Structure 1
């Protein structure tokens, strides 16, 4: 998509700091001089919002993607695909967010399925990887119960299906999927299936869908290996992490109908409860390809994929464009099993909230990159515990690697304590979730959002759950003491001890300690 829009320069006010853009840049927020990002065609593996908001109450918004660069005393807006709107909504980050939310992505009053918030989620990816099968899925589900964990949402990940686009249970790995679903439901689980917008070539589904022109196509002048039966405008092959596939062109209503029909068939025939809708990243829709609706951008295609989930209250996404305020569960991108990645969870998930994506999940406990768990000798048991503690007081809590398989008794008990702590605060989490559905306000909030002008602008190791619960997880290995900055006011810790705010305190941090403080 060509655009010759001139550079627009917006002066930065004294002591003004900015948030917004790509969720995966949360750790870089608030932005410093030299930071630059072009949101057209690149979602950095996570959600994006065409929004910048400041701690001085200012808002920059566009309905279309743009590039922003932070200069010494200004923001340069370049390559804007649409009108850039600039507003002054007040004097704080919260006022800026409230203005943006109510004017550009108002909450629609709905939430994803409550079970995503009220119980832990369990994803089969780390344990089974590319061998999803009925026997081991049932064993995993029973192990959850047998090891004292409560049932919740169970997500069956990639390779349950016959092929990409052939959304049937693989007959060899799932000899009786209906019986499996009945058993899982009997254990108290809701079941989600992994799906994506890709269709494998050389399949019956591909040939049928290609006849109806349901894929993105190569341009007519594309250079393709010569063969007399090949025309340049054939469906494009998109290279992604599992090979090369055709990708649904959701600007064609027939493609949307086909995909939704497939999902609804799984709901009807197998009693599937919902879907993990993976991929959908902007870069899987290169803008040189031909879409059914002329001018559909890579970002637009991602948003169209996001709209699919609105039909299914049990949903999960990782890639997203401009769907804030909607009842969609938004997961952070896959994190490695290391302390550095653990330290990104707070700034990234608070960044999500500031962009209107309130219904958020901080990836999988211990990390979602399966290669980290191939060798049990490299697993850091303390890291699993500290990761679970970060999850415990966030909107959602998702396990994948089985704690009972990789942890000794001491560390497993510490993880179980996080689940029990979450139960204590579940009513509060649900009240914030329902509030977010009405107001759009974040569930997990930056310190600056709640306590402006108290020097919390760059705080990345503490967060607020709502306005009343300060959470300060341990984010480094072998930490026995942690400094915590308390805002003004009175605060009470888990033991009932009270503190006067407006100062820094030091607390002991044993393996089972998750420091949190309730505002009095």
Structure 2
């Protein structure tokens, strides 16, 4: 028997709320066959955000010669049928729709009837809060405190598919030895025997429970990478197919074999409550037997699911329904992380931005994407991995092209975000000076812990984002196109360095502001500041 563990080992780059759906509307969504076209004209001076986290860098929406297909593609990240405007309007649907924007109007094709813009208030903030409260309220809970108070560490860049007990424990020891605090440790892909199996590879993990116990003793929480896929020709595959727990090839009773970045696999049919419960029970067994704290729920992207070629237990299920069930499964485990999501904005799910490459252009995308995630209703978000999440950028061959300043600036930006995550080991790729700056960024993040937890609790209570656009906090003051600074809650204006120039322009709104060096400023004010490598520019609002 041949059991597949990984796909082509030369492949070193991976991709990047409870929705209370009324029964009648749900039936309408799923039985309607005709598409309904709606046009929503843009008002004078109006700007729009939302729909896709990954499209944040292009926000607010500008004229584009393309269509966005919410039901078919999540663009490697979070998506939602929710758009919000600077003039207090929002667009919402219970079902995915296709839309395009020509600069003057939105043209929307929907399976559930005409879609209209709802007038919720007069500002972007009112559109977000009132729209969310009308459509998907929070359950009042936040992810565990450790996500906000300490860095996360993901073993992907350092270990790739070569996850072993020895290497993971060495990585954890190196974190502490280099002066970084213990936090959430995520063991990435290929710890398991094969996909669909939830046992450690015995030859690589001789004592997995002992490993996790030792990591716990050092202050780490441990999460494991998982996917909904199942290796064909495995005992689990045969069991799940016999029970009807797998997505089927169209018109057959045989499992669909789905291409994804690690090859070709079958997949749990999470629209089947019994299959959902079966997978949940396997994960809970992992927790009981090994002491695992939670899971990184990867590979839920809607592009893997197609009702035209696949059959589901729920005959009316769409790709987004399967992705939503994946999120609902993750909500059963407080320690969770997602890169792809549909809906469920009201649940305490940890969302991470899609993997970025090692470039200044990618760094500049982090702020607008984090802002857009918050406007869409996803407040508990992590801005990818420090320095980038693409393995090829940190290979031995790429070492001479590595930009140490870029890694430092990435760490500094993440220090003043809700969460920060390391994957490449800074002590491996940085000299002593740059490593010290990264360590200082992690220390600043720790110092902000109580404020971050307070802001997260407010997000759970009110629905407000943790990372807020300047337009959101200071409406109609000319900040709609400000993409390189943001508000962390209501107290801190953060102006990170996202270029290699060592200086930048800062736009302060009305009020009294004290910067990271203790200098006081009176806004409104536009100024150019010098930002040496060790500085993280931020401004605290005093009154």
TM range (shorter): over 0.9
CA deviations on 1:347-381 (whole Å, 9 max, x unpaired) are 00110000110000001101111111113222211
Aligned-partner Cα distance in 2 for 1:70–1:292:
36
For 2:342, the equivalent position in structure 1 comes to 321
| 1:63-212 map, 5 Å | 63-81=94-112, 84-212=115-243
Q: Does 1:300 align with 2:314?
A: no
Aligned-partner Cα distance in 2 for 1:209–1:233:
12
Question: Which of 403, 420, 431 pairs up with 1:397?
Answer: 420
Aligned-partner Cα distance in 2 for 1:72–1:452:
21
Q: State the SS of the aligned residue for 1:161.
A: coil
| 1:233-382 map, 5 Å | 233-288=253-308, 289-375=310-396, 376-382=399-405
CA deviations on 1:6-48 (whole Å, 9 max, x unpaired) are 3211111001010111111011110012253110111010000
CA RMSD of aligned residues (A): 1.2
Aligned-partner Cα distance in 1 for 2:531–2:108:
45
Are the aligned partners of 1:361 and 1:395 in contact in 2 as well (CA < 8 Å)?
yes
TM-score normalised per structure 1: 0.96
For 1:29, the equivalent position in structure 2 comes to 59
Question: Which of 486, 491, 502 pairs up with 2:508?
Answer: 486
Are the aligned partners of 1:62 and 1:85 in contact in 2 as well (CA < 8 Å)?
no
Q: Does 1:426 align with 2:446?
A: no
Are the aligned partners of 2:356 and 2:389 in contact in 1 as well (CA < 8 Å)?
yes
Q: State the SS of the aligned residue for 1:145.
A: helix
Aligned-partner Cα distance in 1 for 2:498–2:102:
32
Are the aligned partners of 1:149 and 1:416 in contact in 2 as well (CA < 8 Å)?
yes
Q: Shift of the alpha carbon at 1:84?
A: 2.7
Q: Shift of the alpha carbon at 1:83?
A: 5.8
Q: Shift of the alpha carbon at 1:458?
A: 1.1
CA deviations on 1:176-203 (whole Å, 9 max, x unpaired) are 1111011101111000000000000010
Aligned-partner Cα distance in 2 for 1:424–1:181:
27
Q: State the SS of the aligned residue for 1:405.
A: helix
Matched length: 508
Change (3 A) 1:85 1:264: farther
Are the aligned partners of 2:367 and 2:484 in contact in 1 as well (CA < 8 Å)?
yes
Q: Shift of the alpha carbon at 1:483?
A: 1.0
Question: Which of 91, 104, 109 pairs up with 1:60?
Answer: 91
Aligned-partner Cα distance in 1 for 2:503–2:255:
58
Q: State the SS of the aligned residue for 2:347.
A: coil
Stretches of structure 1 that go unaligned for 5 or more consecutive residues are: 221-231
Question: Which of 6, 14, 37 pairs up with 1:7?
Answer: 37
Are the aligned partners of 1:27 and 1:348 in contact in 2 as well (CA < 8 Å)?
yes
Change (3 A) 1:119 1:82: farther
Q: State the SS of the aligned residue for 1:245.
A: strand
Are the aligned partners of 1:63 and 1:82 in contact in 2 as well (CA < 8 Å)?
no
Q: Shift of the alpha carbon at 1:82?
A: 5.6
Change (3 A) 1:355 1:239: same
CA deviations on 1:137-185 (whole Å, 9 max, x unpaired) are 0000000011101101000000010000011001111011111011101
Aligned-partner Cα distance in 1 for 2:33–2:376:
25
Aligned-partner Cα distance in 2 for 1:3–1:72:
29
Q: State the SS of the aligned residue for 2:249.
A: coil
For 2:473, the equivalent position in structure 1 comes to 450
Q: State the SS of the aligned residue for 2:147.
A: helix
For 2:4, the equivalent position in structure 1 comes to none
CA deviations on 1:306-356 (whole Å, 9 max, x unpaired) are 001111111000100011021000000001111111111000011000011
Aligned-partner Cα distance in 2 for 1:47–1:398:
18
Aligned-partner Cα distance in 2 for 1:331–1:57:
27
For 2:6, the equivalent position in structure 1 comes to none
TM-score normalised per structure 2: 0.92
Q: State the SS of the aligned residue for 2:100.
A: strand
Q: Shift of the alpha carbon at 1:283?
A: 1.1
Q: Shift of the alpha carbon at 1:426?
A: 1.4
Are the aligned partners of 1:6 and 1:79 in contact in 2 as well (CA < 8 Å)?
yes
Are the aligned partners of 1:64 and 1:82 in contact in 2 as well (CA < 8 Å)?
no
Are the aligned partners of 1:144 and 1:151 in contact in 2 as well (CA < 8 Å)?
yes
Are the aligned partners of 1:106 and 1:325 in contact in 2 as well (CA < 8 Å)?
yes
Are the aligned partners of 1:239 and 1:245 in contact in 2 as well (CA < 8 Å)?
yes
Q: Does 1:19 align with 2:49?
A: yes
Aligned-partner Cα distance in 2 for 1:252–1:32:
40
Q: Shift of the alpha carbon at 1:85?
A: 4.8
Aligned-partner Cα distance in 1 for 2:67–2:483:
20
Q: State the SS of the aligned residue for 2:513.
A: strand
Aligned-partner Cα distance in 2 for 1:263–1:418:
34
Q: Shift of the alpha carbon at 1:391?
A: 0.3
Aligned-partner Cα distance in 2 for 1:125–1:72:
41
